[in-house]
Amino acid sequence: MRFRERFNNIIIGVTGGILIPVTAFLIFFLFTSNGLSFSGYLDKIVEAGNVSEIMSISVFANIIIFLIFNRLDMLRASKGVLGITIVWAFAVFGIKLF
């Protein structure tokens, strides 16, 4: 089975749409932690009220995987990434609202 056929499904897109923002956040943490522990860093983000901004930056990384899937004509996987990105957007909107 070829690569495109094997990985062209919604589950792969959803999994990528969840893992890429988490990975982007961890990379963001590594570059901006200034020696804080992970829990201390999370406390600082919550205390400063920057949760929605950090989530938005992390979810923005989904565009990379979406464009890769789209370019490789893996439209089912692209749908999964797009769907989970919309869920992330509603979560960011909900956090901003409250």
pLDDT in tens, 33-87: 999 999 999 999 999 999 999 999 999 999 999 999 999 999 999 999 999 999 9
Of 77, 92, 88, whose CA–CA distance to 12 is shortest?
Answer: 77
Q: Residue 59's pLDDT is what? A: 93
Q: Residue 21's pLDDT is what? A: 96
Of 85, 82, 97, 83, whose CA–CA distance to 55 is shortest?
Answer: 85
Q: Residue 60's pLDDT is what? A: 92
Of 50, 56, 58, 49, whose CA–CA distance to 27 is shortest?
Answer: 58
Confidence of residue 1 (pLDDT cuts 50, 70, 90): low
Measured CA to CA, the distance from residue 35 to residue 32 in angstroms comes to 9
Of 67, 57, 64, whose CA–CA distance to 89 is shortest?
Answer: 57
